[in-house]
Structure formats: structure tokens, C-alpha cells
A and B are shown apart, each in its own frame.
Chain A
Amino acid sequence: MKQPNDRDLALTKRLQALQQLNIMDSEPEQAFDDITAIAASILGMPIALISLLDDSRQWFKSKVGLDVCETPIGSAFCAHAILSDALMEVSDAREDARFAENPLVLGEPHIRFYAGVPLSSPGGTRLGTLCVIDSNPRQLDNSQRQLLISLARLIEQLLMLRQEIRSNEERQRQLVEQQTINQQLLDSVVEGVVACDAQGTLTLFNNTAQQWHGGNIMDLAPDQWASHYHLFDDDGTTPLLVEHIPLLRALRGETVRNVGMCIQAAGQPPRFIEANGGQLSTPQGQLIGAVVVMHDVTERRRMDLLKRNFVASVSHELRTPLTSISGAISLVQSGTTGPLSAAAEKMLGIAQLNSKRLNQMINDLLDIERLESGQMHLISRVQPLLPIIRSACEINQSYATEFSVSLELDEPAADHEVIIDANRILQVMDNYLSNAIKFSPAASKVVVQVELLPDRIQVNVVDQGSGIAEKDQPRLFQRFSQLESASRRSGGTGLGLSITRELITRMGGETGVVSIPGQGARFWFSLPLAEATTDSPVH
């Protein structure tokens, strides 16, 4: 294989340089034509050329005294000239062994005299020449040679400047293209995107934002803004203070996260949005401005409101007939409407029990719904825990008696305060106690233990029932789990434990169960002590 020699490498470099300059076959340019005109005129030459050589031809960027644009490289004098940095002068081509047989000497344009100075690219690669040609033999004096060399340097400067201008133009074009793409991108998103510079002047207001504000705010003077739109707080009625505008908050350095706002644009219904945004800075940390992205949450809020109303009206719709059923049965059972047979009493008992079950189920379902949709409002305050536990035991005493189970409370030496909603703790105790009692064998004991731990207080409800298999334990506190279906068969709703877990978690505590099959179960919950928490009461 032929090794690449120096000439091949030089050719490759030359071709690359010509490619970068993007000059081959380009249009004539005035600056280059001026120089060849000067060269021809001052030196008194009929022909002056700026020639560039690729791998097959010499092509003339500028020419005086010649009609053709290019000639094959084989006969090019310039191909010899670019072999060195120095000016190449041929006084009489016929006397020069290199050129005596050259077609350009023997035929048109009958070259006898040639002088060429190599031209280099900005990177230093020789590309071609500035040359002058005469059909008579002659010689240049030193000042003429200097002139030619100076003109060649001028051409090299021109080539460099030309390349600079072109790459600037290309960068500019790319910048504009990128900006157009960016703008299209921002206009295609559903969210409203706005940005400002470090002084707070708006720099971006995408299509969506324009729609939402009733116009392109960037085109309007600030005193015109109020005629297009008004801004309100989350509630839709309190006018938004200027310093609360999300973009300005972001500019001041706040991390804007899901900040609610209402935009009332002229002729549009109120639009509720959530804004997210922050500051923009250079990698070096210099402030550029701020950007905010807004999501339209109007529909979601409407759905939430509908859902809340739905839950409320379902609650009412279901409870009203239940009230009548259970109320009517109660009145008959009590003998108010007259004496009853034993069979009638029994039937009424069943009806009443199930009516109470239905009611409990409605309560549980509504609780679960509220907990899941964040509508459950706990009114928690700092209070001692023991009185509530005692209450719970009293309330469930009769239930225990029904099942022939004895209920015991094991108190610690001292009471402690916790942050809780008392009614909900009663609900949790009801859940644990009713489960314990239901699954206890007759004549057994259910013990409620309250123990004080370093930063928590824990309530344990221990029964002597059949216990729970280990494989069933993880899913116990989920809705409608295995234990729950057993509980349902004995009158429970299948939701009690999951509600208990949610409630205790909301109050900052934990729940769990410890059980060995055949040895009963210990259901527990713990709550952080009020003195261990520094937060104010939770809602």
C-alpha cells in the first residue's frame, strides 16, 4: 500500500481549508477584483489572477485579461508556486525546463513571464496564488516584487475577514432559528409561561399566557393592564397584592411552589391557576431574571367542589331514610305503639341491628372518602389522653357484657398530654375494642394497657381470641382485608382498621398489631407526647 506522502497530506489540508472558506466557484467579489486590477495596472501586466487549487483544477476567484474561469491542474504554474512560501518568478517560460512543454506556453495565452505569490488560509495552509502573467519574457525589480507580496498579504486578510463575516452570519442565523424554535415550543405548551429580566421587565409571555390575560401584556403599557385583566387570591375574590404576583416573588428569590391565584380577564370566566417558578441565573450565579409556569386548575377545582357536594348530598340522602327506619323500629320496639309478641320483638331486633350496621357503614365510607380527598378536618388540641381512654372503656362496657367479656384498663402512673381530636380517638378505641370483644371467647378478658415510652404514649388493646396468622398481618389495616371480612360477618364494616390507621397517622402517631395464632392479639397505637412536639396543633 502506498504510504501517504507529504504531498497527499498537503492536498488533504488544502481541500479542507478551501471547504471551510466555502470559496470555490463562488461569485466574483469587488474587493478581490480591485486587487487584481491594481496588480495588472501598476505592474503593467496583461494578466493578473487570484487562483485557488483543489485536487483537479485551478479556479480563478478574480481575473484580469483571461476569459476562462479555470484550467486543469496539470498545466497550472501555480501548482508549482504553492510548493513554497516564497514568490516564484519565471522570466522566460520557454527557457524553463519545468514549463517549456506546457500547453499554456505553447498555446493560449502564450505565457512567457510568470510571477506568483502563494496565498495561505487563516490557518496557514497554502491554497493558491496571486499571480501576474505576461506573454513577453521579462523580470521584476525588487520594489515590484514587494508590491506583489504586499498585495498577496492583503488578499489573505480579505479571506480571513470574509470567513469571519460568514461565520457570524451563520451563528446569527442559528440563533434566530433557535429562538424561533423556542418560541414555538413555548407557544405549543398548554401551560402559561412568563419570564422577566433582572429588573422585572417582561421578556416572555407565551400564547397561553396571552390568552389567559386577554392580550399580550408585553405590548401594553402598565396602566392599560387593569382594563384587560384583574388578579385575585386563591379565593377568587381578594384582590392580589402586587408583591404577591408569582413572577415578582420568584424574582425576589422565593421558590414558588403551587401558588394559587385567580385571573379574571375581561369577557372570560374566572380562571384558577397554580404557579411554579423561580429565579434564573448564569452558571456563575449572576441574576438573569425569573420564570413562572402556570397550570390551569379551574376544572380540577370544580370537580373537587362537585365531589365534596356529592359526598355531602349522598350522606344526607342515605341517612334520611335510615333515620326513619331506625326511628320507627325504635318506637315500636319500645312498646310506645302497643304490646309486641316475642317473635315480633326478635324480628325487630334484627331489623334494628342491621339498620345500625348500615348507618355505621355510611359513616365509615364517608370517613374514608374524606380522608382520601383531604376533606377530613381534625380539630386537635393539647389534652391529657387517659380521660379519653377511660371514656372509651365505659362506652364499650355494655358491648363487652353482651359478649360475656370483661374489660380492664391498666393505667400508667402518670397521665401525659397529647395533641389529638378527642372524638376521633374515641372512634379508634371503638374500633379496637369492638374487634377485641367480638373475637374474644366468652368469659375471657380484654385488657387496655396505656404505656409511657420516652417520646410517645402507647395504647395496647389485648385480647385472648384466636389470633391472626402472620401472613395475614401485613394487610390487616387495608380496606376489606381478610380479617375485615371476618369482622364483617360478625357485624363490622370492613373499613374500621384502615380508618383507624389514617386517623392516627394524621395525628402524628403509628399503628400496628402483634399476634401469634392461638394466643390472641395486641392491637396498638402510639401518639407523640405534646411536650415532644414543637409544632402547633395540627388540623
Chain B
Amino acid sequence: MSELERIMHIEDDPSIQEVARVALEIVGGFTVMSCASGTEGLENLEAFAPQLILLDVMMPGMDGPETLARLRRTAYAASLPVVFMTAKVQSQEIAEYHQLSAAGVIVKPFDPMTLADQIRGIWSQSHGQR
């Protein structure tokens, strides 16, 4: 299993982008690209070539699930691990996201000190399943 280094974060809120960037880059040691929308993420997909995508669920315009569907139609991201980040916490909804071919779900508010570990956990789990 290769090491996780490059993460793309698709999130419309600039504050969350910044907090997550610090949590992932400084605490976690990853290289992070932040994109403010699903469209921006798709545009930069091949150029940045992430190994995992962290995807906000509720975004204006193209929301998380729709972005995921688009990603799955690209050659590059057809089976790339994608992790949803959402404020919704009902167990039923989390189950639904897993059904949508997401590798994992991270609930807001997240703890920036453990975010990196959580992502690493999902990364190794998804590799174990291949």
C-alpha cells in the first residue's frame, strides 16, 4: 500500500478550507489543494492528481453527491477514494453516503487534531478492500 500524500479538498467555505488545510498540511504532513467548488475540483483533477478527495456535501450549485457522480465518470477518479464531509449526522444519512461509493464520512464539526489520522484510517481501509 502506497503512502497517502496528495489530498484534494473540495469545500466552498473559505474558513473551513483554511482550518482543514492547517490540520492536514501542518498536523498531517499532506500536500493539499483546496478547490471552492465541484467544477473547480474537476478542472484541476488531472493536473494535481490527488490520491484521495475530501468532499463537502452541502455546496451551492453542484453539491457533494453530484460532484461524486461526475468524478466517477472521469477516467482518473473512477475508483479514487472520496471522503464526504457533512454536518448531517443521522445514521440513516451516513449509511446513504456509504452506499454512494464514498470511502468514508467525516462529520462536522471535525477535530482538526485528529482529522489527518481519520483520513489515514480511511485510506488504509480502502486499500485493504481492493
Contacts and interface: CB of A to CB of B under 8 A. Distances in A.
B113 A330 contact: yes
A316 B92 contact: no
A534 interface: no
Interface stretch (A86-94, A222-230, A331-339, A474-482): A331-339
Contact of A423 (B91, B108, B111): B91
B40 interface: no
Q: Which of A320, A334, A336 has the most CB of B within 10 A?
A: A320
Interface string B1-21: 000000000000101101110
A315 B112 contact: no
B61 interface: no
B88 A336 contact: no
A323 B109 contact: yes
Interface in B93-116: 108-113
B87 A331 contact: no
A363 B16 CA distance: 19
Q: Which of A313, A319, A363, A379 has the most CB of B within 10 A?
A: A319
Contact of B111 (A320, A321, A330, A336): A330
Contacts of A313: 58
Given A327-B23, A336-B27, A377-B92, A320 B113 contact: no
Given A326-B109, A331-B113, A359-B109, A336 B26 contact: yes
Contact of A315 (B15, B22, B88, B113): B88
Interface residues of A, number: 25
B15 A334 contact: no
A322 interface: yes
Chain A interface SS verdict (over half) = helix
Contacts of B91: 377, 379, 421, 423
A415 B13 CA distance: 48
Contacts of A316: 58, 87-88
Contacts of A323: 16, 19, 87, 108-110
Interface in A6-44: none
Q: Which of B16, B112, B113 has the most CB of A within 10 A?
A: B112
A391 B108 CA distance: 23
A336 B27 CA distance: 7
A506 B108 CA distance: 27
Contact of A319 (B19, B87, B111): B87
A324 interface: yes
A330 B112 contact: yes
Given A330-B112, A336-B26, A337-B22, A321 B92 contact: no
Interface in B56-108: 58, 87-92, 108
A312 interface: yes
Interface in A301-330: 312-313, 315-316, 319-324, 326-328, 330
Given A312-B88, A324-B15, A423-B91, A331 B23 contact: yes
B22 A320 contact: no
B87 A315 contact: yes
A399 B48 CA distance: 44
B50 to A, nearest CB: 21
A55 to B, nearest CB: 88
Q: Would you list the 7 A-B pairs with minimal beta carbon distance, nearest first?
A: A324-B15, A323-B109, A327-B19, A319-B87, A327-B112, A323-B108, A316-B87
28 contacts: A312-B88, A316-B58, A316-B87, A319-B87, A319-B109, A320-B13, A320-B16, A320-B87, A323-B87, A323-B108, A323-B110, A324-B18, A326-B109, A327-B19, A327-B23, A327-B109, A327-B111, A327-B112, A328-B18, A331-B26, A331-B27, A331-B113, A334-B113, A337-B22, A359-B109, A377-B90, A379-B91, A379-B92
